[in-house]
Amino acid sequence: MTTDRGVPAYLATLHLLRQQIAIVNAIKRRFESSLFEIKQLVQADVLDDELDSVRGLLKNGYTRAAGAVAGVVLEGHLKELAASTTCLKQQKLSIQLISR
């Protein structure tokens, strides 16, 4: 069988299938990108809330507690940053606390 343009039907069908696959792949990439943006917004909001808690602790004179919470917030942020950065993923960096 051929199409009205003289192209074998299976080739025309294969071409249409490839177009559909490309569309699905583009939708998948867009969806993943949108999810990443949403995740970043949520993380930024949580980070702001945690830092507000640190400010409250400092304001009330709880400097050690504020420092501890700030350290945990910073560590969490750096872990997320390392997880999202490919060059850091390859080096398998870890954060270690040094006690004095």
Domain boundaries, the chain: 9-91
Q: What per-residue confidence (pLDDT) applies to 51? A: 92
Average pLDDT over residues 41-68: 92
The answer to pTM > 0.85 is no
Does residue 47 surpass a pLDDT of 60? yes
Terminal alpha carbon distance of the chain? 81
pLDDT attached to residue 99: 47
